[in-house]
């Protein structure tokens, strides 16, 4: 299980939570990666991998939604 998958569990580790927060801050440009990684005490490489894993997960989910012909605006609303 990668750190992104772990962050989705009911009891994620402190490290996966820190990576999640760092990745979000990097993506939204709150500061430079070096500063963010130092703040959360995580490795830059780990943050990049977290972002990659999240992107893969979201892409697969989007492909599955497209295959199922579900209206994306109403996905999950029954």
**What is the per-residue pLDDT across 37-76, written as a single tens digit (0 to 9) for each?**
999 999 999 999 999 999 999 999 988 888 776 666 666 6
- Cα separation values, 32 from 24, 45, 61, 62, 73, Å: 12, 14, 29, 29, 34
Question: pTM value?
Answer: 0.81
Q: Note the pLDDT of residue 65.
A: 81
Q: Note the pLDDT of residue 70.
A: 63
Cβ distance 42 to 22 under 8 Å? yes
- Enumerate the domain spans of the chain: 14-71
CA gap 29, 24 in Å, rounded: 8
Cβ distance 40 to 50 under 8 Å? no
**What is the per-residue pLDDT across 2-37, written as a single tens digit (0 to 9) for each?**
999 999 999 999 999 999 999 999 999 999 999 999
Cβ distance 50 to 25 under 8 Å? no
Question: Would you say residue 78 has pLDDT above 60?
Answer: no
């Amino acid at each position: 299980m990668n750190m992104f998958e772990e962050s989705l569990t009911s009891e994620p580790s402190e490290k996966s939570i820190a990576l999640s927060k760092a990745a979000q801050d990097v993506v939204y440009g709150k500061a430079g990666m070096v500063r963010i990684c130092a703040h959360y005490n995580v490795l830059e490489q780990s943050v990049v991998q977290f972002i990659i894993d999240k992107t893969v997960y979201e892409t697969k989910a989007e492909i599955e939604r497209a295959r199922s012909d579900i209206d994306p605006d109403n996905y999950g609303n029954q």
